[in-house]
Chains A and B, each alone.
Chain A
Amino acid sequence: MINAIISGIFNLILSLVNVLLYPINLVISSAIPDLSNVFTTIRQLFNYLFMYSSWVLDASLISSETISLFILLFTLKLTLPLSINAVKLAIKWYNSLKL
C-alpha cells in the first residue's frame, strides 16, 4: 500500500515535470531541432555511462542494502515534501471551509 502511494506520488512528480516543460519542449523540437539532437546525444552519452554504474558500485564494495537505502532516501527526498505540502494544503482548505 505504502509502495503504491509513493509510486503514485513519484509518477505525479514526473508528470508535473513533463507538464511544466511541455511548452519549452515543443518550442525546442519544432523551432530548434538541432538542439533537440544535442539533448538526445547527451542523454545517450549518460545512459552509456550509467550502464557501467553497477560495475563501479560493485568495485567499490558497496552492498546492495546501502544502494537500496540510498534509493529509498532519494525517493523520500523527492516525495515527502510534496506529500507534506499536500497535507498542509488540505488542512488549510478544511480550516477555510470551517470558517
Chain B
Amino acid sequence: MENENKEKIFTFFKVFILCCVWFFIALLFTFFFAIAKVDAQAIDYIPDAWAIGNYSCPNNNNYCVPGIQGSNNVWVRYFNSNHIFQSGHTYNIIFIGKVNWSGTPPSNPKATSYSMQVWNGSSYITATPDRYESVTNMHKQGDDYYFDWSFQLDVTFDVDFVVFNVTANILIPNLQVTFTIEDTANQTDTQVITDTIYFNSQNIINNNNQNTQEITNSLGEINDLLSDDSIDSNTGTSFFSNFDSGSTGTLTDIISLPLDFVNSLSNTCEPIVFPTFNFHNFSFTLTIPCLSSLVYSHFNNSLINLLRLLINGIILYRMLVWFVEFVKNLKDPQNDDLEVMDL
C-alpha cells in the first residue's frame, strides 16, 4: 500500500514536471513569435472626443455629404464637437484604412483615389492638401491589407468637419479607418480615432439577409427540437450552460470549485491581456495570444496535426480506460456510492 502511494506521488510529480516543461516551451515560443503584440498609445488620447460618422449622418442630417455612395467607395465624416480646426493652423493628417476579407483576398486590391471636403459652418468646400502622399497599392500585413493617405492641410478658415472619400478597385466588405491629426503648432495635440464602417450599403443588405436566413434556420431547428424528442443536438459542454453554484462566502463555494473548473473548460481560448502599464506619457498593454493560432501560422500544419493527434489520442485512451472501469463498477451490486460526495 505504501509503495503504491509512493508510486502515485512519483507519477503525479512526473506528469507535473512534464507539464511545466511543456508550458515553459510554449511560453518561450509565444514570446519569440508573437508576444510582440504590445498595444501602445500616447497618454493624451482622448476617447469619445472625436467620432467618425458614415454617409448616413444619423444625428444631424444637415451636415450629410451630398452625392451617391457607390459600390466601392465610401464617405467618412470626421468631426469633433469640442474642437475645430483653427484658422491659421497647419495640420498633419494621416488616414489609414485596414481591410480584412476573412477568406480568399482579391488579387491586387487598390485604393484608387481619395478626396476631401471641409465644412466651414455653412457649406462644404473641396479642400486641396498642400502635400499629397499616397500609396494606392494595398500592402498585406498578416491577414489584413492596409492603405494610407498622408497630407498637410493649411486651414484658412475655421473648420467644423472634414469629410474623406475613398474609392477602391474592388468591393470591400468592411473598412477600419484610423485618423491621426496633429496640429503642427502644438505637436502634443494629437488625436487618434479608430472605427469600423461598412464600405457600402449593399453589403449591409447582404449581411442583413444572411442574418435573417441564419435566424430562420435556427427557428426551424428549434421547432424540430420541440416537436421531435429523438433530436438532441447538445454536446457535453451544454450541461453547464446555466451553471450557477449559488451564494458566495459559504462552504458551497469550496465544494463546487471542481464544477467551476469543469465549467471553465468549455470556454474558448482568449488571449491573456495583462493590466495596462503606464509610464510617464506612455502606456502599453501586454497580450499573450492563443498558442494554437501561432503554431498553425508558423509551422507545417501536418506536423502540428500529428502532434495534436498523439496528445489527444493518449488522453482519450486514458479517459476511455477510466470509463470502462467506471461502467464495470456500476455493474457491481455492492457499489452504491454517490460520486457527488467525493467532491
A82 nearest CB across to chain B (Å):
6
Overall SS of chain B's interface: helix
A78 nearest CB across to chain B (Å):
6
Which residues on the B side are within 8 Å of A51 (C-beta)?
A: 264
| B166-174, B178-186, B331-339 - the one binding chain A | B331-339
Which residues on the B side are within 8 Å of A75 (C-beta)?
A: 236, 239
Q: CA–CA, A2 to B238, complex, Å?
A: 12
Find out whether the CB atom of B316 lies under 8 angstroms from the CB atom of A66.
Answer: yes
Interface footprint category on B: 35 or more
Which residues on the A side are within 8 Å of B262 (C-beta)?
A: 70-71, 74
Closest to B272 in A: A55
What per-residue 1/0 map shows which CB atoms of A72-88 lie under 8 Å from chain B?
Answer: 11111110111011000
Which residues on the A side are within 8 Å of B269 (C-beta)?
A: 54-55, 57-58
Which residues on the B side are within 8 Å of A10 (C-beta)?
A: 239
Contact of B232 among A3, A46, A54, A56 (CB under 8 A): A3
Find out whether the CB atom of A17 lies under 8 angstroms from the CB atom of B240.
Answer: no
Q: CA–CA, A25 to B255, complex, Å?
A: 12
Contact of A36 among B250, B264, B268 (CB under 8 A): B250
Q: CA–CA, A65 to B309, complex, Å?
A: 12
Q: CA–CA, A61 to B307, complex, Å?
A: 8
Q: Using A43-B248, A61-B295 as known contacts, list a sample of 10 further A-B pairs with CB atoms less than 8 Å apart, ordered by residue number in A.
A: A3-B238, A17-B255, A25-B250, A29-B249, A39-B248, A43-B253, A46-B261, A62-B311, A63-B308, A70-B262
**Which A residues have a C-beta under 8 Å from some C-beta of B?**
1-3, 6-7, 10, 13-14, 16-18, 21, 24-25, 28-29, 36-37, 39-40, 42-43, 46-47, 50-63, 65-78, 80-82, 84-85
Which residues on the B side are within 8 Å of A68 (C-beta)?
A: 235-237, 266
Which residues on the B side are within 8 Å of A13 (C-beta)?
A: 340
Interface pairs (30), CB distance under 8 Å: A14-B246, A14-B256, A21-B252, A25-B250, A39-B251, A39-B253, A40-B249, A50-B261, A54-B264, A54-B265, A56-B23, A59-B23, A59-B290, A59-B292, A61-B295, A61-B312, A63-B312, A67-B266, A69-B316, A71-B236, A71-B262, A71-B266, A72-B239, A73-B236, A73-B319, A73-B323, A81-B336, A82-B338, A84-B330, A85-B338
- Whether B257 is near chain A, meaning CB under 8 Å from some CB there, is yes
- Whether B101 is near chain A, meaning CB under 8 Å from some CB there, is no
- Whether B38 is near chain A, meaning CB under 8 Å from some CB there, is no
A79 nearest CB across to chain B (Å):
9
A90 nearest CB across to chain B (Å):
15
B95 nearest CB across to chain A (Å):
36
Q: CA–CA, A36 to B247, complex, Å?
A: 11
- Whether B270 is near chain A, meaning CB under 8 Å from some CB there, is yes
Q: CA–CA, A73 to B232, complex, Å?
A: 17
A85 nearest CB across to chain B (Å):
6
Q: CA–CA, A55 to B246, complex, Å?
A: 26
**B287-343 residues at the A interface, CB under 8 angstroms:** 288, 290-292, 295, 304, 307-308, 311-312, 315-316, 319, 322-323, 326, 330, 336-340, 343
B102 nearest CB across to chain A (Å):
21
Closest to B323 in A: A73
Which residues on the A side are within 8 Å of B245 (C-beta)?
A: 14
Find out whether the CB atom of A58 lies under 8 angstroms from the CB atom of B254.
Answer: no
Indicate whether A52 sits within 8 Å of B252 (C-beta atoms), given known contacts A60-B22, A63-B312, A81-B338: no
- Whether B267 is near chain A, meaning CB under 8 Å from some CB there, is yes
Find out whether the CB atom of B330 lies under 8 angstroms from the CB atom of A81.
Answer: yes
Closest to B252 in A: A21
Q: CA–CA, A3 to B259, complex, Å?
A: 18
- Whether B26 is near chain A, meaning CB under 8 Å from some CB there, is yes
Q: Please give me the 6 A-B residue pairs with the lowest Cβ-Cβ distance, nearest first.
A: A72-B236, A58-B269, A25-B250, A50-B264, A36-B249, A43-B253
